Amino acid sequence: MRNFLNMLIVAVSAFLIVGCESVPFTGRSQLMLTSQSEEAQLGEQAWKEVLSQNRVSGNSTYNIALKRVGANLAKAANKSDYKWEFLVFENTEPNAFCLPGGKVGVYSGLFQYTANDAELSSVVGHEIGHAIARHGGERMSHGTIQEVGAQAVATTLNGKSAGTIQAAMVAYSAGTNLGVMLPYSRTHEYEADKLGLVYMAKAGYNPNAAITFWQKFGQLSQTGTVGEFFSTHPMSEKRIGEMKAYLPTALDMYNTAPNKKNLGESLK
Ligand SMILES: [Zn+2]
């Protein structure tokens, strides 16, 4: 009986260790039933899907800007297991996503709203925040997106069902082409906002630019011109307020960043 109890305790603790993670910087604990390597593999395959369904933008200014900002953010994020890639895709919607494992896509439509590198870093940093905090894995663990997977046709693509890959894309909001985009929960949005401030600050971009960018973006949304991204990223006074409350922490990180660029290069 004692042996059985010991085994039970070991089994339960093993489940707790596997099943629970904590988010960097915010310390929030989260249910996690997927592994980082599984997520990265799904990310790789979803990226192949994205590449086959989207046209890479021929605008060299946009691509160079994204690679410049992306390299600085990647360095700041310090994720040795990530294989970063940054590409601009031809699409008039202002949108961006980061898949688990570090594949980042930005739609060309976003650049009409970003005045400089710092503003671009606030959006890309936010998306990287969703990925590093493993919000997609958390969604999959909670079964939020099971239905999407179940609806998809289960044909096999590189050993993973198309449904699983679609689920991964939806989990990381890379699913516009699938006609499915789930809004992140408020908890995830607020957390990605904070992590975005952290990574942009550590990358040497002035985190004040995130506040002005999201405020500007929020106002634009009222004119109905920012479409789907805004519908999945609703901006409220409260959200801006939370970012402002975190700003002193982010400014401390910015002030000790090795290579401060303030707003970086102009994109206008
Ligand atoms: Zn978000």
Mind spelling out the 3-state secondary structure of 182-238?
A: CCCCHHHHHHHHHHHHHHHHHCCECCHHHHHHHHHHHHHHCCCCCHHHHHHCCCCHH
What separation in Å is there between the alpha carbon of 191 and the centre of ligand 1? 9
Over residues 165-182, the pLDDT tens digits come to: 666 666 666 655 544 456
User: What pLDDT score was predicted for residue 162?
Assistant: 58
Residue 49 binned pLDDT confidence (cut-offs 50, 70, 90): confident
What separation in Å is there between the alpha carbon of 129 and the centre of ligand 1? 8
* Lowest pLDDT segment from 66-80, 125-139, 210-224: 210-224
What separation in Å is there between the alpha carbon of 14 and the centre of ligand 1? 31
What separation in Å is there between the alpha carbon of 11 and the centre of ligand 1? 35
Report d(CA 207, CA 185) in Å as an integer.
23
Report d(CA 30, CA 114) in Å as an integer.
32
CA proximity to 103, closest of 149, 163, 158, 46: 46
What separation in Å is there between the alpha carbon of 214 and the centre of ligand 1? 11
Specify burial of residue 75 (Cβ count, 10 A radius: 0-12, 13-18, 19+). middle
What separation in Å is there between the alpha carbon of 185 and the centre of ligand 1? 9
CB atoms within 10 A of CB 234: 13
- Average pLDDT score over residue span 117-134: 96
Over residues 76-111, the pLDDT tens digits come to: 999 999 999 999 999 988 889 999 999 999 999 999
Which residue's entry shows tokens 């969703």? 130
User: What pLDDT score was predicted for residue 42?
Assistant: 84
Q: Which segments of the chain are extended strands (E)? A: 20-22, 29-31, 85-89, 96-99, 103-107, 156-157, 160-161
Rg (the chain; Cα; Å): 19
Write the single-letter amino acid at 104: V
What separation in Å is there between the alpha carbon of 111 and the centre of ligand 1? 17
Residue 243 binned pLDDT confidence (cut-offs 50, 70, 90): very high
What separation in Å is there between the alpha carbon of 90 and the centre of ligand 1? 21
What separation in Å is there between the alpha carbon of 220 and the centre of ligand 1? 17
Report d(CA 118, CA 203) in Å as an integer.
10
- Average pLDDT score over residue span 146-175: 55
What separation in Å is there between the alpha carbon of 188 and the centre of ligand 1? 7
